[in-house]
Amino acid sequence: MKRLLNNEKGIAGGILVSIAAVIIAVTASAAFMNLVQMDTNEVHYLQDQLQQELLLRSEIKRINILLENNSLMLPTRVVEMQNKNRIATYRVRLKESRVTISNNLGLPMEEASAVQALVTQTRGRAMSSNAERSPVARFMTKLSNRKNLSQYAYFSDNEASDLYDSGPEARVKFYGKDELTGPVHSNSDIWIQSNGGGTANPDAHGWPLFRGLVTTAGKLMWHDSNQLLIGSGFPDDDVFQGPDPRRIEDVATIPYIGTAELIRNNGTPIGTSLAQSKYLIYKCNISGSNVKISTVDFSQTYTDTFVVYKSYPDALHPLNPNDVNNKTNWVLDSLYTNTITFRDTVWGPESSYTVSNSSLFIRGNAWVEGTVNGKITIGAEGDIYTTGDILYQNTVRGQLPVTESAINTTDYFGCVSEGKIILKYKYRKKEGSKWVTYAHNSQGPDGHVYLYGSYAALGIEPNIPFGFLLAGTLTYEYQHPHGAVMPYRGYSQFTGKDTLYTYIDFHRHRFPPADPAQTNRPLWNRWPNQTPQGQSNGFPNDNKPTYDYTQNSGPILYNTSDYPWYNPVWPEKDSGPSPTNVETDITWERGTLHVYGSIAQRRRGFIHRSGTGASNNNPDTGIWDPSIYGPNGNLKMPIYGPPHRSTGYEKDYRYDERLTFVHPPHFPEVYKGGLAGMQSAFDDAAWNFSIPPRNF
């Protein structure tokens, strides 16, 4: 060794050996440290994986809360965990969408809110520039099936009419002409009648037939005996034929919200506001996924004057130019001058909107008709009038969307009014130099109106006198018709030529009529209203040979005549139970209303009127006052003249079974909880882990 150390070459070799030993030691140490670090990383990655899974599982609860409270803005969640060895920051990002799950036949089986959640992790502070990103990421998709109003074939907040506040007079009931094929719910008592006639139930004649589950927050009541239905011995199994338990009483009340929040928040807005659209209508024509909207503006007015005469001719009482002595039916003795305000109707140009799996929100009143392709919902701040059929492009008119031979997997329509949904009677539109009458909903006793889709009338019933008049209902326009005196062409005593006599009623009566409180009102101060119940309804069926409106009592020429513009296409004549010409004649019975879908309403709207009820019979001759607002702007009961023929529609309501799973876009949901902080009710459908997608 000594020799080796003293040798130059030996010294160099020793140094090399020493260096090699050091390198080997360092390498071994580094390898050992790498092994330790690899184990540590693996432990950290395993910790990341487990922690991320725990976060995702806990995220399910947060997603539930966000969805329940209708939060479509899903905020990113950041969780920072720190111990003595490391800092880990987890970031949870969410995205929400709607998905439709179909079976192998293509039939939509479920529509759900799909929330995707991605968890990533960094080591170090979340905002630090040197934070290290973990390669471990976890991804989850959660499906939640929201409950929707369209799932009910029929839903009502209050099984009462909008004619009375409460009590037996306001009661409406299901009876022998009613067959309901889907789920039914009311937040009030449900009344059943057995002796009202009808053959809808082949197993129990005179009774209604319910083929779906019936639930009520109140009781099932028997109208005939004014007692509880359950336990009365009625044919239970024949009346309630839905799935077990068939009918349930005393369930929780389902809050019925008065605003279309989902449409307001997500739909395309049209117009400014209902208040600013008082004299504006938005006419919506649906063609596939395209909605063409034009405005109908009736804000422009002009005035005209009409002299009221003691005598004035019409078609049944023409002026006789040869009767120079008695001057029968001549224009004689001016009594008063009416100053009448007319409103021009100005149709605006069309604007086109493509609506695909979305909605429009009309900030005003709307008219709607057409054929739907895809998923469309139209909502309105005011009333919605259906002016004709609303059909599905892929369903044959008159058939359900689901039949044994065909399934419509594409078309869904929602109609949501924050007021009422009303079947339009008729309307007129000027085309060129001619006014054309459109009477799609009023073709006569053999007519048919088809409304496919889900319909919700949300109108709030304020807690004020007569507030029930504003409740949201599905109903129809012009429920109390009367014949009017029509224009005619005849001889004029002034020109000696044929003359067109128009607005004849304005030449015979004061308009508006004098205050009923006025004493000794001459008959020309009143609007004719004396037809006895069960007799004729108005011109030309009321025929008396002479009249003198200067008298204060006694018979008059026409016992009744229609009130100006209560009929939206006034004047029309009474040509009998069936119209000869729908452009000029009253349509009394209007055929059958077919609703293939679902209906939700605040109160039960009238679809047919007998015309002979006490509510139509005005005891004070000469009072017509069809407005629901008084001079002071407060609500009041309207008066529609004397009794008349029956009018309205027969009902054919059928449930669209697809609505059990799939709903029109942004259609109102079923809410749970109290009036404060209401939440959407929903059922968990499924959730699962999967591989994270790129560019999430």
| pLDDT of 535 above 60 | no
CA 471 to chain centre: 13
Question: At residue 532, what is the residue type?
Answer: P
Mean predicted confidence (pLDDT) in 417-428? 98
SS3 of 305-369: the string is: EEEEEEECCCCCCCCCCCCCCCCCCCCEEEEEEEEEEEECCEECCCEEEECCCEEEEECCEEEEE
pLDDT in tens, 597-624: 999 999 999 999 988 765 555 555 567 8
pLDDT of residue 546: 46
Which of 452, 550, 567, 461 is closest to 508 using CA atoms? 550
pLDDT in tens, 52-86: 666 666 666 666 666 556 555 667 888 887 776 66
d(CA 12, CA 9): 5
Q: Which residue has the tokens 């939640």?
A: 144
Q: What residues pair up with 281 in beta bridges, in sequence order? A: 296, 365
Which of 578, 594, 109, 506 is closest to 312 using CA atoms? 506
Q: Which two tokens stand for residue 147?
A: 């409950």
Q: Which two tokens stand for residue 349?
A: 């140009």
Are 348 and 265 in contact, with CB atoms under 8 Å apart? no
pLDDT in tens, 622-677: 678 899 999 899 999 998 887 788 999 999 999 999 998 899 999 999 876 544 45
Percentage, residues of the chain above pLDDT 70: 76
d(CA 510, CA 515): 11
Who has greater pLDDT, 66 or 187? Answer: 187
| pLDDT of 424 above 70 | yes
Mean predicted confidence (pLDDT) in 236-260? 95
The DSSP secondary-structure symbol of 115 reads: E
pLDDT of residue 32: 42
Q: Which two tokens stand for residue 376?
A: 């469309």
Residue 449: pLDDT band by 50, 70, 90 thresholds? Answer: very high
Angle in degrees, CA 393, 398, 401, rounded to 5: 55
pLDDT of residue 5: 42
| pLDDT of 241 above 50 | yes
Global pTM value: 0.82
- Coil/strand/helix, residue 6: helix
Q: Which residue has the tokens 């990421």?
A: 137
pLDDT in tens, 375-393: 999 999 999 999 999 999 9
Are 596 and 401 in contact, with CB atoms under 8 Å apart? yes
Q: Which two tokens stand for residue 128?
A: 């630090």
- Expressed in angstroms, the distance from the first to the final Cα of the chain is 71
Who has greater pLDDT, 52 or 194? Answer: 194
Torsion, Cα of 609, 177, 597, 166 (10° steps): 50
Mean predicted confidence (pLDDT) in 566-570? 96
Residue 458: pLDDT band by 50, 70, 90 thresholds? Answer: very high
Least confident of 217-231, 312-326, 350-364, 560-574: 312-326
Phi, psi of 202 (to 5 degrees): -70, -20
d(CA 403, CA 228): 38
Who has greater pLDDT, 516 or 147? Answer: 147
Residue 580: which residues within 8 A CB-CB, separation 6 or more? Answer: none
Are 180 and 655 in contact, with CB atoms under 8 Å apart? yes
Average pLDDT, the chain: 84
Torsion, Cα of 494, 498, 499, 501 (10° steps): 110
Which of 407, 418, 350 is closest to 378 using CA atoms? 418
